Amino acid sequence: MRETYALAPEFVSQPRITMPSNGILLRGVNLLIRIQRRGFTWSDRVAVRTHSVRAEDGTATPVFEIVPKDLSGTAPALIDYHGGGFFFTYAGLHLAAAERYALEGRCRVFFPDYRLSIGHPFPAPFDDCYATLAWVHANAADLGVDPQRVALIGDSAGGALAAGVAQKAADRNENPICAQILIYPVTDHETKTKSAREFTDTPLWKTASNRAMWKVYLRGTEYATSGGSTPVSPYAAPLHRENFAGLPPARVEVAEFDPLRDEGRQYADALQAAGVSVDLREAKGAIHGYDLVAGSPTAEAMFKERSAAIQRFLGDP
């Protein structure tokens, strides 16, 4: 029997599907996403170029740079990690959001096309994302980036990548980050929170999909091969960090009817308990992935708040 939730009207008709962990099926979905995003075009207000960034293992990652055409000189940077369960490629709506971040935030946006977990489980996608941050800092002068105003943003699995990258930068005391903006973030591989137990039939993303995501992402890791007896790296599951002190200030968005809601709240709470400044916002009536629901008034309201936060974070130090 289908569960009923008090969803905002724009989310009621969204599909209730369970994401597979089968590689062939996931590749088929990715093909559909790639076909669909062919209809996306950049506006004439931005200039876009593609860079090639190498991770520590030598793998080259394409990174889009999106810049307002009327922006010149040294500017802040926003590194944008797309969501998609670690196993899906970016959609056209991810690119549209990146363009808006550049225009409304008056910044240079860097958008890595990181490796997907179907063929490259953790740590490969994470390594590509950290390499992007390191590359932006190493080439800040040539890119026209102010290295003191570099922020990270990510939605869903991209939120886990952003949080993990922020942790690694803090651990290494390198590549400083002025803020982390986490949108309905993935933070915990255990999928045992109250919201994970309650929201088993929500549109777009449900508890079973979350478990499939982690099965694919963590396969081959010590955690997977030990049957769960070895801890998961906090760079994969950021909530499992021991000490949150010293991490950059954050904005965390969660959705009311999202199996990931409580782990997002818990991450915000852990940051705040460690003395990190956190702005936690909950989208009422919303589902996981609300940014990907075209025309959603809820998503638009949250986006405007987010843009204002980006402007504050990237403002003059």
Active site residues: 156, 258, 288
Is residue 132 within 8 Å of residue 79, measured between CB atoms?
yes
- 111: number of Cβ within 10 Å: 27
Nearest partner of 76 among 316, 271, 253, 257, judged by Cα: 316
d(CA 125, CA 123): 6
Nearest partner of 183 among 22, 291, 49, judged by Cα: 291
Q: How far is CA 97 from CA 63, 118, 229, 297, in A?
A: 16, 25, 39, 15
Prior bond to 123 cis, omega within 30? yes
Identify the burial level of 227 via C-beta atoms within 10 angstroms of its C-beta, where 0-12 means exposed, 13-18 middle and 19 or more buried: exposed
The terminus-to-terminus CA distance of the chain in angstroms comes to 54
d(CA 48, CA 277): 33
Instruction: For residue 163, give every residue at least 6 positions away whose Cβ sits within 8 Å of its Cβ, in sequence order, or none.
Output: 154, 180, 182, 185, 187, 238, 267
- 299: number of Cβ within 10 Å: 23
